Amino acid sequence: MRHLSCPACGNRVFFENYACLACGTQFAFSPRTGQMAPLFGDNAILACANRQQYACNWTSDDGEPMCRSCRLDSVIPNLSFAGNLERWRKIEQAKRRVVYDFIRLGLPIEPRGPGNQSGLTFQFLSANLTVAPVMTGHDSGLITLDIAEADDAVREHRRTEMLEPYRTLVGHFRHELAHYFFERLVLPSSDIQACRAVFGDERADYQQALQIHYRGGAPPDWGLHFISAYASAHPYEDWAETFAHFVHIVATMDTALDLGFGGEPSQAISDPYTTEDFEALIKAFLPITEKVNEINRSMGQPDMYPFVLSDEVKGKLHFIHMIVAKNSRTHAGNMRTPEVAA
Ligand SMILES: [Zn+2]
Ligand SMILES: [Zn+2]
Ligand SMILES: [Zn+2]
């Protein structure tokens, strides 16, 4: 995340802010310019309709009342239930961060509609209100999230129960969008053969693979071949887990470089989201994780990045980098206009 400034006084503000603490100016984030825009006065811009409930701090989009992120929702939590407004705010906050990632990556992140059947839609469901259990997952552009994942206690309980080192709302969104982009960008393209050579054949029986994984666990040497134990369950999950990590890496590097960690932004990685240089990206990322992990331990906090990248995993990440670059509208060499200004 690049640093943001108050449009009136220039004070540093953050992605989640609605107003400037220094001068009181009300603003909203414009995904079109990548800047905060004022809501009043000259150059005033319209806020997303979900701002009323403080569920969103983005600008409205294309004459629509809602922003680019909120327009992706088809089902939001039932706000008449206690706690759901707070859960929804947390969910939307994480989703905006991830929508921002994909805008910066230049990948298509548009609402599903009559003219766009390959678009995306999100539904946020509660197990209290459905007959069947709510499964967080992706199905042909429909991303479902169990809103209980917004409760820290519930999410942490599930994380430890499933022996996961990392479980966050941002991580869920990056993972499920990875499934979407596999279906949208890789499956219909000639890259599918190469993808199967790298990740395995995703046509292998999925339910059976998951049953075997949950019954017997990951193979003991999974760390040599996979980014996570869950990635070893099935090629489809290996792709999604690895793709999510590619986004973790570019998003973290973007923030780190902006904050001046890891030295001056080099020529090779002036923009981690669109850099051509995968090797430079990984080389810059790993020392930062070592340092921040150590800082976290000093505070008794879990590691920021509790993962090890084996050579095989780096190869998989490199393949994903290639797929993203090929399909990006903001990537160098592509003629389409960037939506978030550099
Ligand atoms: Zn200000
Ligand atoms: Zn919004
Ligand atoms: Zn998955």
How remote is the CA of residue 206 from the centroid of ligand 3, in Å?
A: 11
* Degrees to nearest 5, angle at CA 245 with 18 and 121: 55
How remote is the CA of residue 89 from the centroid of ligand 2, in Å?
A: 10
Quick check: helix, strand or coil at residue 306?
A: coil
How remote is the CA of residue 34 from the centroid of ligand 1, in Å?
A: 17
Tell me what pLDDT residue 335 has. Answer: 35
- Ligand lying nearest the CA atom of residue 95: 2
How remote is the CA of residue 341 from the centroid of ligand 1, in Å?
A: 21
How remote is the CA of residue 250 from the centroid of ligand 2, in Å?
A: 24
pTM: 0.94
The alpha carbon dihedral of 132, 137, 142, 146 has a sign of: positive
Contact 155, 149 (CB under 8 A): yes
How remote is the CA of residue 207 from the centroid of ligand 2, in Å?
A: 36
**Sequence-separated (6 or more) residues with CB below 8 Å from residue 230:** 162, 164, 213, 218, 237, 241
- Give, as one character, the DSSP assignment of residue 334: -
- Ligand lying nearest the CA atom of residue 7: 1
Over residues 136-177, the pLDDT tens digits come to 999 999 999 999 999 999 999 999 999 999 999 999 999 999
Domains of the chain, residue spans: 1-67, 69-162, 189-342
How far apart, in whole angstroms, are the C-alpha atoms of residue 150 and residue 68?
A: 21
Contact 275, 331 (CB under 8 A): no
Structure tokens at 197: 């050579």
How remote is the CA of residue 164 from the centroid of ligand 2, in Å?
A: 31
Q: Which residues of the chain have pLDDT under 70?
A: 262-268, 330-342
Please give the C-alpha separations between residue 139 and each of 118, 182, 183, 196, 295, in angstroms, as whole numbers: 12, 12, 10, 20, 39
How remote is the CA of residue 93 from the centroid of ligand 2, in Å?
A: 9
How remote is the CA of residue 251 from the centroid of ligand 2, in Å?
A: 21
Tell me what pLDDT residue 264 has. Answer: 57
Residue the block writes with tokens 């999510």: 244
* Residue 284 parent element (H or E): helix 278-298
Q: What is the pLDDT of the chain when averaged over all its residues?
A: 92
Q: How many CB atoms lie within 10 A of CB 91?
A: 24
To 10 degrees, what angle do helices 235-259 and 311-327 make? 80
How remote is the CA of residue 252 from the centroid of ligand 2, in Å?
A: 23
Over residues 58-109, the pLDDT tens digits come to 999 888 999 999 999 999 999 999 999 999 999 999 999 999 999 999 999 9
- Ligand lying nearest the CA atom of residue 54: 2
- Ligand lying nearest the CA atom of residue 235: 3
Please give the C-alpha separations between residue 320 and each of 78, 239, 306, 327, in angstroms, as whole numbers: 37, 8, 21, 11
How remote is the CA of residue 66 from the centroid of ligand 3, in Å?
A: 28
Tell me what pLDDT residue 338 has. Answer: 40
Tell me what pLDDT residue 267 has. Answer: 59
The amino acid that residue 94 corresponds to is: A
Tell me what pLDDT residue 330 has. Answer: 67
- Ligand lying nearest the CA atom of residue 174: 3
Contact 93, 65 (CB under 8 A): no
